[in-house]
Amino acid sequence: MLGLVAGGGLLPVYFCKNAKRDGKKVITIAIKNEADKSLAGYSKEIFWFDIGDFGLAIKTFKKLGITKACIVGKVRKVRLFSALKPDMRLFKLFMSLRNKKDSTLIQAVIKEFEKEGIKILPMTIYLKPLLAKKGVLTKRKPSREEIEDIKYGFKEAKKLADSDIGQTVIVKNKKIITAEGIEGTDAAIKRGGLLAKGGAVCVKAARTKQDMRIDIPGAGVETIKQLAKAGIKCLAVQSGKMFLIDKNKIKKEADKNKICVVIF
C-alpha cells in the first residue's frame, strides 16, 4: 500500500488513477476544502482532515502500516499560515521553523513523516508522463519579441523560485510587469494582464534544486483560461521540472484563444 497526502488540483486524481492502474492500493489523506472529491473513487480508503490535523495524518498512516507515501497537490499558502487551527504537532513544527519559506516548511514536513518511519517518495513515480517536454504545444509559435521575453522571464522566474517567493512572472518588453506572491499564480496573471494591457508573456519556472517529492509547479486548462481573461497571449513553462496537466485540453483551449504555449 502507498499513502497519499492530497492537496488541491487534478494532480492527486491523476496520481491515484495511475497508481490504481499499476495495481497499487492508495490510502489517501485528503485536505478539506482543497482536495478533489473524486479522489474517493480511486482510493482504497480516504480520510478527510482539516489542514491543521498534521499529527492525526501521521497517526493514521502509522496505524494502517503505511511506510511509503507521496505528497501531491497544492495547498493555498494563505490558508496555511492564516486561518489555521494547528494541532500540537503542527504548532511545534511551525515554531521550530527558522523562516516561513516554502522550502523550509517542505523539508520540515518531510522530516516529520520520515522520523515516524514514513518515507516520502517523489510524486513523479506516478506522474512522470505529465512532466513538460521541450517544444511548442500550440498552433501559434512565439514571436521574436515573445522569445526574448521568455529568455528574460526565465532568469527572473528562476530567481523568484529560488527565493521561495513564487514561480511565475509576467513579462513585457524584457520588463517584469508583476510576479507571483503569497496570493498565488491566478492573482499574478490577473494583475499582470491589467498592468500590461496586452502583449505580455507568462513564464513559470521551478527552483534550481527542485525537490521532486513535493511542490512541483504545473499548468493546466484553468491556467490557459486565466491567461485568456487577462489578455496574455503566451505561456512558457520549464521542461522536465513542471507538470502540464492534460496536454490535449491545454492545446485545445490555447488554440481557441490564440495563446502560444512554449516548453523551454
Is the same domain home to 115 and 142?
Answer: no
Is the same domain home to 80 and 173?
Answer: no
Is the same domain home to 102 and 191?
Answer: no
Q: What is the pTM of this model?
A: 0.88
29, 55 Cβ separation under 8 angstroms: no
Is the same domain home to 140 and 94?
Answer: no
From CA 185, how far away is CA 250, in angstroms rounded? 17
Q: For residue 257, what is the domain's CATH number? A: 3.40.140.80
Is the same domain home to 103 and 213?
Answer: no
Residue 132 has a pLDDT of: 97
Is the same domain home to 55 and 140?
Answer: no
Is the same domain home to 110 and 181?
Answer: no
Give per-10-residue mean pLDDT for the chain (264 aa).
96 97 97 95 97 94 98 75 74 86 85 98 97 98 98 98 94 98 91 97 96 91 98 98 96 99 98
Q: DSSP assignment, residue 103? A: H
DSSP state letters, 25-55:
-EEEEEETTTS-GGGGGT-SEEEEE-TT-HH
From CA 35, how far away is CA 38, in angstroms rounded? 9
Look at residues 25, 68, 29, 36 and name the one whose alpha carbon lies nearest to residue 52.
Answer: 29
Is the same domain home to 193 and 72?
Answer: no
Residue 83 has a pLDDT of: 47
Task: Find the DSSP H helices in the chain.
Answer: 11-21, 54-63, 77-81, 88-96, 102-115, 144-162, 185-196, 221-230, 247-256
Is the same domain home to 84 and 177?
Answer: no
Is the same domain home to 93 and 31?
Answer: yes
Residue 22 has a pLDDT of: 96
CA atoms within 13 A on the CB side of 215: 24
Last residue of some domain: 125, 141, 175? 125
Last residue of some domain: 84, 102, 125? 125
Residue 76 has a pLDDT of: 65
For the chain, what is the domain count?
2
How far is residue 188 from each of residues 12, 82, 224, 247, 264, measured CA to CA in Å? Answer: 24, 20, 13, 22, 21
Task: Tell whether the torsion through CA atoms of 15, 34, 79 and 158 is positive or negative.
Answer: positive
Q: For residue 69, what is the domain's CATH number? A: 3.40.50.20
Q: Where in the sequence is the domain holding 172, given as residue range(s)?
A: 131-263
Residue 90 has a pLDDT of: 86
Is the same domain home to 118 and 137?
Answer: no
Is the same domain home to 155 and 200?
Answer: yes
Residue 214 has a pLDDT of: 87
Last residue of some domain: 68, 101, 125? 125
